[in-house]
Structure 1
Amino acid sequence: MQLFTRLGNLSIFPKLILTFIVIILPMFGLSIGLNELGKREVKQQLSNTMDAQIHYYFLSLEKEIQQIIRTQMEMVNDPDLQKLVGLGSILSEYEKSVLIGNLDNKLRSYRESSVYIKDISLYVNSVSHVVTTANTAVHPVTKEAMEEVYQAMFTHGFPLIYSKDRLYVNVNEPVAPGSRKAVPYMLQVELSVDALRTTLNSFNPDGKTVLFNDAWSIGSEKEPGLFMQIKQRVIPDQKNASRQSSLRVDKKNYLAFYEKSLSLDAALLFYMPENKVLGTLKTYQTWSWLLVASSLVIVIVFSYGIFMLIHRPLRRLVTQFKSVEAGNFNVSSPHKNQDEFGYLFRQFNKMVHNLKVLIDDLYVQKIRLQHSELKQLQAQINPHFFYNSFFTLHRLILNYDNDSAALVSKNLGEYFQYITRNAQDEVNLESEIKHARSYVEIQNVRFSNRIETEFGGLPAHLNDIRVPRLIVQPIIENVYQHGLGDKVLEGRLRISFEEAEGKLRIRVEDNGPGLQPAEMDMLRSRMNQAELGGESTGLINVHRRLQLKFGAEYGVSVARSELGGLLANIIIPMERGDQL
C-alpha cells in the first residue's frame, strides 16, 4: 500500500516515463528493424538505379542533339553553301543548279546521320530557292513557313524551337535587330517527334517520361493534367539542375525524378506510381501484420493508462470550468494526490473564490469606464459650424434674401435644439437623419453655387432604430470641411441608405480629391486602434462611439467612392425600439 501511495504522489512526468518504458520497448525493436530494412531497399532501388538510369539516358539524348547542332553548324561552312549565298546573284543558272544539287545530296546524307532527324530544309535568299529532304507533296516547305519557324526562335526557346506541334533546330546568318535586311539563308533541322516519343516510351514501361521546356512537351504521358500537376510541384529553383521527389496527386503517391539541361534549355521528368517501385516491400507483409497486432494491444493498454493518469482528472477539471463559464461559482474540486493535478485543482478553487469576490467590482468598473469614455467622445464635436451659420444668416439678411434667411434660421433652430437636448444619449434614427438634413439645408444655402447635394429618403421601417446621437452629421461635416473644402465648382455630396444581412449602411460620399492609399491605410489604422490618445473627432469619433455601443463588427468603414472622392459607410444593426 505504501508503494502505491508513493507512486500516486509522483508527478505526472515520471508516471508517463514508467508507462512508456514498460509498454513501448517491444514496439521500438520491431519498428527499428522494419524501418531499417525498408529504407535500405528503397535507397538501393531508387537512388542507385533510377537516378543513374535517368542521368545516363538524358546525357545520351543531350549528346545526340548537341551532335545534330554541331553538324548543322559545320554545314553552314560548306563551300557550296557559302558560294551560293555570296555569289548567287552572279552565277549562271547551270552553276546554281549544280550547287543546289550538291547541297541536296549533302542534306540527305546529313538526315541519315541521326534517327532523331526527320527532315532538313535550306533556304538561300540570293537564289530564292528552298532545298529540302521533305516530301513536298505531303508537307510543302516554303520560304514563309521557314521564316515562321525562324521567328518562333525568339519566343519558343533556343536551341530547340517549337512551332505548330513540330520541333526544330535553326541556324542562320545573324542580322542586326530592327534591320530591314533579309536573312541570307536559313538552315532548319526538324527533329522527329515520333522518334523522341518512342525513345521516351522505352525508358521504363511502369512510368511516364517527358521531355519539355516552358513552351512545349514531348513524352509518353497520356494524362497531360497529371503531368502538369507533377511538373509544377517538382521543378526546383534555378540553382538546382536535378531533383528527386515523393508526392501525392489525386489521392495517389508518385515518385518523380527531374533533370535539366542548360545547353538544350529543356528538362526531363520521369514519374511513376510509388506502389510500382516499392513492390519488393510486400515481402515484409507478415512483419507488417505482426506490427499492427502488437500496436493494437499496445494502444489499448496505453489508452487505459492515460485514462487513469490524465484523462479522468482532466475531464473533472473541464466539467468544473464549464460550470464557472455558465456563471456557477459555487464549485469545489478537492484532489488528494500531491502531483501537478493536485496543484491545478487547488489553484482552480482559489481562482474561483477570487473571481466570485471581484466580479461585481470589475463589472461595475468596466461599465462606468465605457460610459465615461462615451460621454467624452460625444463632447468632442467641433462647433465651428455654428459660427459660419450665423455669418451666413447675417449675409442673407443684409441681402434681403428673406426666404433663404427663414430657411436657415428654421433649420438652425432645429439644429441647436437637437444638439443641446442632453436628456437622451440615444435617439430614433428618424430624428438623427432629420438633424442631418437640417445641417445639409443650411450648408446648401451657403454653398449653393459650389456643391450639389443628393440626400436619399430613409425607409419608413427603419425610423425606430435606436442609435447614439450625432453619428451622421459629423460625417457630413467632414465632407464639407475636408472632402469638398477646396472644390470651387461642381462639388457633389450624396447620402444614401443600404440594407444587407441585418445591417444598415448609411453611405456618405463625395467627389473630392479623396485620400491617397497611404493616407487611407493610416486612417483605417487609427480607426482600428483600441485606444486613441488625445482628441478624436469626425470619422474616428463616430466610429469609436458606434463600436462602444454595438460591438466591433459595427462602426464606420472608409473606401474610395465611385464619385471619385471618399466613401464613409456608417454601419449599424437593423434592430428597432427597445430591442437593443
Structure 2
Amino acid sequence: MIKSRLKKISNMSLFYKILVTFLCIMTPLFALSLLVNELGKSEVKRQISNSISMNTHYYFKSLEEELERIILAQQQFINDEDLIQLSFETPVLTEYQRTRAINQLVKRLHVLKDSSGYIQDVSLYIKAIDSTLMTSNRSTGDLSPAQEAEEIVEATRLSGSPMTWWKDRLYLNLHLSPLRALAATGQQAHFVQNIELSTDALRKALAAFPQEGAAILVNAHWQIHNDRYTAQLQPMLEQLAPYIAQEDHFTRPVKIGSDTYLAVYEKSYFLDTALLFYFPENIIVGQLKNYGLWSWLLIGCSLVIVILFSYGIYLLIHRPMQLLVKRFRSVEEGNLQIAAPLQRGDEFGYLFNRFDRTVQRLSQLIDELYVQKIRLQQSELKQLQMQIAPHFLYNSFFTLQHLIRNDENEAAQRVARNLGDYFRYITRNGQEEVSLGEEFKHVCAYVEIQKMRFANRIEVEADVLPLSLQALPVPRLILQPVVENAFEHGLDHVVAEGKLSLRFELRKDQLAFIVEENGTGMDQIELAGLVRKLTLGEEMETTGLINIHRRLKLRYGERGGIEVSRSVLGGLRVELFIPIEGENDDVSSADHR
C-alpha cells in the first residue's frame, strides 16, 4: 500500500510535487500555530475567569464589609444616651429635655444615613413616646408607627435573615437575635431601629460589574438584579441548584439554549445572601476568536502564497519542462518536424535551442540512413537476382535438354513456360514490392521446374494461399530464395522419398511462411551457427537466408525476419515472418495441393 502510494507520488507532475512538498512543510507549522493559539486562548480564558471571580469576590466582600460597618454603627446607636432617656425616662423628662433628645436622635439618624450610599432611610420607633423618628418624610400609610414597627420586626423574625424584604423595601436589622428572645418570653421591644437599604444603589452597584453581565443578589425571599439577561435567570438558577446546595463559591460554564454562559457564585453566611454573576462566554472569548480568525486568515494567506509560488515555479520551470517533454514524445513518435523556436534567454532557452538542433541533425541523419538503406536494398536485390539466375539457368537448361532428348515434349513445354515466367519475374526492375499472390505464384513456378529436375525423388506439399492474403504487399523475391535453399542445401543429395512442405500460418499480427524438408544438408553445429548469425546480426556474406533476413529486418523492423530450427521431418525448418494488420486469431491452413 505504502509503495503504491509512493509510486503514485513519484509519477505526479512537477507542479503537484512542489505543491505537496510546500504543504508538507507548512502543515506542521500551521498545526503548531493553531495549537499555540488554542493554548493561549485557554490560558487567557482562565486568567480572565479568575480575574472576574476575584472582582466578584472583591465586590461582594466590599458590600459585606459596608453592611457590617452599618450594623456596627447601628450597634453603637443602641447605647445612645438620648435614646435610653426617651425609652426609659420619658415620664420624668421635661418638654425641653424630651425635644432636645428627639432632635439629637434625628441628627444622629441623618449622620448614619449619610454615612453610606446604600442607606435609603433610617427609622427609629420609640415605644415610650409612641412615635417613629426617620430621616425621610415618607408616610406610614394606614399603619400607625407602632404597627409598622411591629410588622417589620415580625418580618425580620420570620425571615431569619438580617436583610428583610417588606413591602418592596429592603431592611437591614440588627435585632434578629433580641427579637427572637423577646418573642419567646412574650415581651415587646422598647424601641426598634430599622435601616432601609437603597435598592436603586444596589442595582447601580450591580450594573457596574465588568463584562456587562447579569449580577443578582439572591436570598430565599428576595432578589435584586441589574436587569441584564433576566430571561436566563430562572434556567440559570435551576441548572446551578445542585452546585449551590453543595458549594459556597464556584465558577463554571452553563449551557442555556445555544449559548454558553460563565457563572460566578459566592455566598455570605453573615448576610444569608448570595451573589450570582453570569455573562455570555463569547464576551470573553470574542476577542480571542478574532485572534483565531486572524490565525486562520494567516494560514489561508500562507496557502495562497504557497499556491502562487508553486504556480510561479510551474510557469518558470514546469511548463517549459512540459513543453520539452512534449517535444521528446513527439520525436519518440517519429515526428521530427521542428516546432516554433522558444524565445527565452535562460537555461531552458538553451536546452530548447540545442534540442531543436539535435532533432534537426537527427532528421538529416535519418534521411541519409534511409536513403542508404533503400540503395542497399536495391543493391542486394540486384545482387540476389544475379545470384539466382546463373546456376538455376544452367540446371534448367540441362533438365529441358533431357526432356527433349527423351521426346517428353509436353513436360518440356511446361518447363519452358514456367522457366519463362520465372525469369520474367526476376528480371523486371520496376517494382520493389509485389502482392503476396504474385510472389507465391513465382514460388509455384520455381517448384514445378525443380520437380521436373528431381523427377520423382521429392514429394511437395504446398498450402493454398488464402484469398484474404492475395493482395498483401511484400518485398519482391523473399519467398523463392527460402524454397531454393531447401532444394539446393537440404534435398540436393536425396535419392528417394524426399519431402518438402510449404505452409502459411496466421499468428496474431504476423503471417508465417513455413518451409520444411527432410534432407540432411545441415548438421546440428551448422544449424547453431546459422541461428547465432540470424539472432546476433553478425557480419556475414549477403546470400541465401541471411540476405532475406536482412531485407525483412530493413523493411519491417523487429516484427519481420527469419527463424530456423530442426524440422519434425528431420531436416531444416525455416519460418519467414511478415507483419500483417487486422488478424488476431491463430489460423493454420490445411489445404494442400
Q: TM-score range by the shorter chain?
A: 0.3 to 0.5
TM-score by length of 1: 0.43
Give the structure with the larger helix fraction.
2
TM-score by length of 2: 0.43
Question: Which has more radius of gyration?
Answer: 2
